[in-house]
Amino acid sequence: MTEHNKEVPVFQICTEPTRVDALVVFVRGVLGPIPVLGSLMAEIVGAIIPNQRVDRIARVVVVLAEKVAGLEQERVEERLKTPEGVDLLEDGFHQAARALSDERLEYIANILRSGITEEQAKMAEKKRLMWLLGQLDDAEIIMLTGCSMLERDEEFEKRHWSVLEPRDYYGGMPDDEAAKVSLDLSRKHHMCSLGLLPPLVDNGVGTEATPLGRLLVKTVTGGLYGNW
């Protein structure tokens, strides 16, 4: 087998720009059970993100396909063909192209799924949630999730202790620790400015997520967190 014909693993990360026609073949291939979804997404990807690394977009498509596999294909097609559906997919694909973690890809796929499965009137809401997701880094999402729980989740806290560990200033604090405290405060104030955490009268930040913050968490986690 020549180098030109050598098969490349499906999920190998691309180190050079991927050709659009190769992406189309890949997306259609992995979405056999849902041909409408695959062909529509391949067409949209080819139109809006040419000549970029598309491995992460393809992974989002695979995850989303699994999430909507039980739905009627006609319903999926109907939602995706609307201007609102295409717009939401476009936002999701752009974010997927810049995603740095599998968790982020899962968040994006969950918002896309909710846009397909819920009422058409809520599509604008999903677009807003997709925008909010794009404003947050992974640590902020973890922090917001922790603030959206009525009761402590020890497993969640253990898994994300490096992010959730309480940090406060103290005299003689080393510069690196002081930087972490400052970064945490910056993230909290950022989420506050987006309406995801409530402000306090002493210029601090609340520790419970706002209804908007809980809605975002509920949507990106597929209902796993954010339920009150």
pLDDT, average across residues 137-159:
90
Architecture of the CATH domain 138-220 = Orthogonal Bundle (1.10)
pLDDT at 163: 86
Say if residue 20's pLDDT is above 90: no
Provide the 3-class DSSP secondary structure of residue 15.
Answer: coil
Task: Give percent of the chain with pLDDT exceeding 90.
Answer: 31
Polymer length of the chain: 228
Q: Terminus-to-terminus CA distance in the chain, angstroms?
A: 58
5 secondary structure, DSSP code: T
120 secondary structure, DSSP code: G
Q: Pick from 15, 13, 57: which is nearest to 38 by CA?
A: 57
Say if residue 58's pLDDT is above 50: yes
pLDDT, average across residues 103-130:
90
pLDDT, average across residues 192-208:
77
pLDDT at 191: 94
pLDDT, average across residues 24-50:
57
Q: Taking the domains of the chain in order of start, what are their residue ranges? A: 20-135, 138-220
Query: pTM to 2 decimals?
Result: 0.74
Say if residue 7's pLDDT is above 60: no
pLDDT greater at residue 40 or residue 21? 40
Q: Pick from 45, 154, 155: which is nearest to 97 by CA?
A: 45
85's CB contacts (< 8 A; 6+ apart) are 79, 115, 116, 123
pLDDT, average across residues 20-31:
54
| Tokens (6 digits) for 101 | 């973690």
When pLDDT is cut at 50, 70 and 90, the band that residue 204 belongs to is low
pLDDT at 25: 58
pLDDT at 37: 63
Lowest-confidence region among 17-26, 130-139, 175-184: 17-26
